[in-house]
Amino acid sequence: MKHSYTHTVNYYETDKMGITHHSNYVRFMEEARVDFLSSIGWPYDRLEKEGIISPVIAVECRFKSPSTFADKLEIEVGVSEFKGVKLKIEYIMRCGNKVVCEAKSEHCFVNSRGMPIRLQKEYPDFYSSLMEVAES
């Protein structure tokens, strides 16, 4: 399953050259991931209420073209891998027909004490939701 999220580049997200500063793309990924989770019925505030924390353990970005102030970035989000322990998400950011950035993030799941969670056993509904989108 692919999900689409739109981010409009703000002026403060650009640098002196007028292009989007590279550090902001990780923030855009986070926005898109949180929106994606909401779209499958698991908004991040629900995860936190359930006691699930999902830290980022790896990020990769490949910049293809610059974006600038007021550009509308369409961010396609999809699960590239989920086997119960780690969640890998891929992002393709486009401005019109132009690919701006291709990125990946990797996440694990821990409880409020920082201990790993066995999603399939402890949170079977969330596990099933992730398995469903990982397979589609």
Give the model confidence (pLDDT) of 36-80 as tens digits.
999 999 999 999 999 999 999 999 999 999 999 999 999 999 999
Query: What pLDDT is recorded for position 8?
Result: 98
Domain positions in the chain are: 2-135
Residue 89, both tokens: 């998400």
pLDDT score for 54? 95
Please answer whether residues 106 and 87 qualify as being in contact, where contact means their C-beta atoms are separated by less than 8 angstroms: yes
Question: For the residues 106-117, what does the mean pLDDT come to?
Answer: 94
- Sign for the pseudo-dihedral over CA of 26, 32, 38, 42: negative
Residue 103 CA to residue 93 CA, distance in Å, equals 8
Helix, strand counts (H, E) of the chain: 4, 5
Q: Tokens at residue 113, please?
A: 């004490």
Instruction: Give the pLDDT score at 135.
Output: 76
**Helix (H) or strand (E) run with residue 110 in it:** none
Tokens 């099933």 correspond to what residue?
Answer: 128
Handedness of CA 132, 79, 74, 45 (dihedral sign): positive
Question: What is the CATH architecture of 2-135?
Answer: Roll (3.10)
Binned at pLDDT 50, 70 and 90, residue 120 comes out as very high
